[in-house]
Structure formats: C-alpha cells, structure tokens
Amino acid sequence: MTATRLSVAEGARRQLDYWWTVLKRTWRGGVISSFVSPLFYVVGMGVLLGGFVPADPSRLEGATSYLTFVVPGLVAAHAMQIAVQETTYPVMGGIKWHKSYHAQMATPLAVRDIVNAHLGFVAFRVASACAVFLVVLAPFDVFATWWGPVLAWFVLVLLGMAFATVVFGTAARMRSEEGFGLIFRLGVIPLTLFSGSFFPIDNLGPVLAWVARLTPLWHGVDLTRMLCLDTVDWRLAALHLAVLGAMAGLGWWWAIRGLEQRMRS
Amino acid sequence: MISARGLRKSFGELEAVRGVDVEVRRGEAFGFLGPNGAGKSSTMRMIATVSPVSGGELRILGMDPATHGPVIRSRLGVCPQEDTLDNELNVFDNLYVYGRYFGIDKATVRERAEELLEFVQLVDKRHARVEDLSGGMKRRLTIARSLVNRPELLLLDEPTTGLDPQARHVLWDQLFRLKQAGVTLVITTHYMDEAEQLCDRLVVMDKGVIAAEGSPRQLIEQHATREVAELRFGIADDGNVHEQVAGKIEDLGRLEVLPDRILVYSPDGEEVIAKVHERGLEPIAVLVRRSTLEDVFLKLTGRTLVD
C-alpha cells in the first residue's frame, strides 16, 4: 500500500465480507420488519381503512383512491424508519457494545471508510426493502406509469440516506442509548404521522401545513407521490431533490466528524 | 520501530502524557509499566495511530502517524485491552473477516487463519462461536487476529489481565515464540512478573512522565538492593508496632514501613535478620527474598491506590 489512505472503493471492498456476515445473521428479522410489517400497513390502512375514505382526487393530491394516495406515503415513511433503525443501536453497538468500529480502526481502514461501509449497508437495506414493497404493490394498480415507481425508488434511497447520515452522526455523539427513545418518540413517529404520509398536509391548517413542509420526510413523501401518481411538478421536484441531497451531504460530513471525534476521545 | 520525542497527549485541561521520550528497536520486547492513569494506554493509542498526538514528535516505522496512519496500521498488530472480537461470528470467521480489512486476498487469509489457529491452539474450536469461548481462548484468538497481517510491530495492551495462571503461561509462551521469530513487541502490563519474563527493556510511567527506564535487571540494580528482608512484629496495643521498631533498625538499610510488616532493602537479607535479633527484637515472621521489579515499581510510583 503506497497511498496514505485507501480509496473509497477499496475501503468499501475490504468490508464487504464483514457486512455480508451481518446480513446473513440479520436477514430473517429484516424480512419481518422490512417486508411483512409494511404490507400489513398497506392492507390495514390502505385497503381496509381506505375503504371508508371517499376518493376525491382534488383533495387527495391527484390520487384516484385512498390506497393510491397512501402507498407512496407509507413506502417513504418506511424508508425513513429503516434508515433510523439501522443507524441508532447498530452505531452505538459498534462504539460501545460489540466494538466493531474499534476493531476496524486498528486496521488500515479510516473512519471515513467505516462510515461509508455502514451507510452503504443501510442504503442496501432501504433499497431492497423499498424495491420489494414497490414490486409487490405494482399489480394493484396503484402506480400511474411504469417509470414513476422506478424513479421513486431512487428518491426513497436518497430519502433513507438523508436520515441515515444525520442519525448516524447523532448516535456517534451520544453517550447512552436512552436518547434513542426521544429520536423515535419525538422524531420518527410525529414525522410519520404528520408529514403527509397518511393525509394531505393541507388538512393540518395553514400554519401546521408550513411546518410540515419544512420537514425532510415531507419532501420525500411529496416527491415519491408525484412520481407514483404521475403528477410531477418538476420545479418542486428539483427543490425536493435539493433538500434531500443537501441533508444527505451535510449528514455524511456530520457522521464522519462525529465518529472521528468519538473514536479519538 | 518507534521513536517519541517530548510526546504529549491532552484531553482538554487534563494532560495524560507530559513529554515522553522513547526509542523501541526492531526485534525487542518493550514494556510500558505504570499504575492506572499513568498515561500508558494514551501512549499506546498514539502509537496505534488511533489517537492524534497533542505535542512532541512521534514516528512509527519511520512514518508520521498524522499523515500515514493507514500505512502504519497495515504493518501493525494490535491486541487491545478490551475484547473487540465479534461475538456473533465463529472463531475462524473472526480471523477471516479481520484479515480482509487489510486487503489480504481470500485464499491467503484462509491459509493464514488456519496457521494462526494452530499457533494459538484453537484448531478444535474453529467452528465455535466466540461467546462460547473461555477468557483465555478469547485472548488467544485476539492475539491470533492481531497477527493475521504478519505485523512487524505487535502492540499488546494488558494481554493477560483476567486470565488464570495456566492461560497466562500459554500466552507468554506464544509471545516468546513471536519474539524469537523477530516480531517487535510493545506491552503494557500491571503484572511485574510478566514484564520481567517478556520485556528486554521497559519504562515505568507515572503521572504522564517516564519515572525510570532500563532492562528489568538494570532497574532492580538501580532502584532496589539485591535482597529484601520482610519482618512482621504482630499487633501492639499502643499504636503501630512496626513504626516503633523502625526507629531501632533504620541503620540496617532503606526501610519501608507498612501496616503489617517492615521491608528492609539490603544486599544481604540474612545479615539484617541476624542484626535484628542481636538488638533483642523478636519478629513473629521473617522472610528474605530477592528484590523484584515490583519493589522498583512500588518505590517509583508509590503504594497509594489509584482508581
């Protein structure tokens, strides 16, 4: 090795075997949380509860039924939830419990390589879960075009990474896992409920609707929905992409800085 | 292999390492001794290129850890004080996955893992999960893991802490064989017998500075006498009997008065005992022994507990 640090690709390649072992031991639990639970949500909320919701396209952002309205919201919220799950306890575990980051730091890997590989694994988890979700729902006539959900899939991965990077950086700075309760109760649950996943944010009233528009999940939900329903406002789509991209970029920097400070302390 | 000049490490206001000069030569076994908080682990973390240097100069394998950390780490082996094995993986996979971090190709890392399992006597535990291993087996596996990249320099932080005597001796044997094979060892330890067994040279650190440096033999010669006479006088009603006796024998050598005994440092312990009896003193128990590194350690760093 002559370079003073590994290339991004080489750093990731060296950790493939480790993350493959992680995947082998966690995929069973992942199947339940990633695929089965969201399908229950779709059936329970989209089909059964949705049967009581009158489909007025003018009030459902262009959706022809509540099911077609709620599916993009559910999958976007699901992408966020997976990203947060995979960057809270697993990050603290790498630092405090099973100390895998400490073992990796004793090798030529640098903090940047460790963060990249972990986030790469999160991206894979989000991408695979969302792909299955979209493929399973495709026969139910919930997507207006074939390309809409394909583009939405990229958006969902970006949305997942926007949350994963920020939460990774936060978890790396936390001394105890008690704060994760706050992240879930004051972050994930309110975002899931009030960022336009289950109902149009205009129902919140003008002030709260603007609050909802400031949340990163709303940008992901709205863009995913526009793509799935083929109601794309390209200028608004560009804004959504810019917000999610900026959050992922800044979050990536925040995650690397956070783990660097933690591992050196 | 390691060259430190005026090495410092600060954590905010706290200065853990306050100007350390150390030279470690290729092929030697070098020890860092010191009580808790002496700065050993902070020094080791800087040498392992995990913790940045706060001041002074440090060169590992001729390179600056600030700019060449990954290159240096590719040639280092690190056996940390705390277990960082993957409990979910089996013994073989722990070696395999770790070897892959160094960019070693799959066939080579498998071959090395087999060799290392033999070296640390864990062949029959190849498929066992780490959480099912004993403490001694985990330490041996950690040492095997730290050797997977065939390091030139092996850092061992408290390698035998918490192990039973049998497991310690097996590990010492393995470390001795590594030294014979030309691997440079840097060891921190609380165990003086371990330092005497393994280290060619060592430094005693206290409060972030080096209090003494030399081979175990040199340190004993410089800071202790050849022998120590230990005298026990029982318990008196009117205060500490050992304090009272000390006043009568202070010309016999350097004294250390402890609550339960007096230590007299002298070239000839038997002569000390004879003179004590000549003065009409009747200890209830006497022991004459060779001075050890522990005597040097306690003289240099004191007997006060450091938590």
Query: What integer best gives the mean pLDDT of chain A?
Result: 89
Q: What are phi and psi of B26, to 5 degrees?
A: -60, 135
- Report the distance separating Cα B141 and Cα B137, nearest Å: 6
Test B102 with A5 for CB contact under 8 angstroms: no
pLDDT attached to residue B262: 84
Chain B nearest C-alpha distance from A91 (Å): 15
pLDDT attached to residue B303: 58
Query: In chain B, what residues touch A102 (CB-CB under 8 Å)?
Result: 80, 82, 84
Going from the C-alpha of A16 to that of each of A13, A113, B75, the distances in angstroms are 5, 12, 22
Query: In chain B, what residues touch A16 (CB-CB under 8 Å)?
Result: 100
Note whether ipTM > 0.90 here: no
User: Which residue in B70, B84, B98 is closest to A4 by CB distance?
Assistant: B70
pTM for the model = 0.85
pLDDT attached to residue B307: 54
Query: In chain B, what residues touch A110 (CB-CB under 8 Å)?
Result: 69-70
Task: Tell me the pLDDT band of A55, cut-offs 50, 70 and 90.
Answer: low
Chain A interface disruption, residue of B81, B83, B84, most A CBs within 10 A: B84
Test A99 with B83 for CB contact under 8 angstroms: yes
Number of domains in chain A: 1
pLDDT attached to residue A138: 84
Can you give the residue range of the structural domain that contains A109? 8-264
Test A18 with B52 for CB contact under 8 angstroms: no
Chain B interface disruption, residue of A16, A18, A265, most B CBs within 10 A: A18
User: Which residue in B50, B82, B149 is closest to A264 by CB distance?
Assistant: B50
- Report the distance separating Cα B51 and Cα B65, nearest Å: 9
Task: Tell me the pLDDT band of A243, cut-offs 50, 70 and 90.
Answer: very high
Query: In chain A, what residues touch B86 (CB-CB under 8 Å)?
Result: 21, 98, 100, 103
Q: Is B152 on the interface with A (CB under 8 A)?
A: no
Chain B nearest C-alpha distance from A177 (Å): 19
Question: Which domains are assigned to chain B?
Answer: 2-221 (3.40.50.300), 225-291 (3.30.70)
User: Which residue in B74, B86, B88 is closest to A108 by CB distance?
Assistant: B74
pLDDT attached to residue A216: 93
| pLDDT of A242 above 60 | yes
Does residue A55 lie within any of the structural domains?
yes
Does residue A3 lie within any of the structural domains?
no
Chain A nearest C-alpha distance from B217 (Å): 33
Q: Please, what is the Cα angle at A48 between A43 and A51, to 5 degrees?
A: 130
Using 70 as the pLDDT threshold, list the residues of chain B that sit under it: 235-239, 303-307
pLDDT attached to residue A26: 80
- Report the distance separating Cα A132 and Cα A34, nearest Å: 9
pLDDT digits 0-9 by tens, A21-43: 888 888 877 777 777 777 787 78
Percentage of residues in chain A with pLDDT exceeding 90?
Answer: 60
| pLDDT of A104 above 90 | yes
Does residue A1 lie within any of the structural domains?
no
pLDDT attached to residue B274: 85
pLDDT digits 0-9 by tens, A114-163: 999 999 999 999 999 999 888 888 888 889 899 999 999 999 999 999 99
- Report the distance separating Cα B42 and Cα B93, nearest Å: 30
pLDDT attached to residue A228: 93
Does residue A2 lie within any of the structural domains?
no
Query: In chain B, what residues touch A98 (CB-CB under 8 Å)?
Result: 84, 86-88
pLDDT attached to residue B236: 60
pLDDT attached to residue A234: 93
pLDDT digits 0-9 by tens, A192-233: 999 888 888 888 888 999 999 999 999 999 999 999 999 989
Does residue A245 lie within any of the structural domains?
yes
Does residue A240 lie within any of the structural domains?
yes
Query: In chain B, what residues touch A6 (CB-CB under 8 Å)?
Result: 70
One DSSP character per residue, A92-136 reads HIIIIIS-HHHHHHTSS--HHHHHHHHHHHHHHHHHHHHHHHHHH
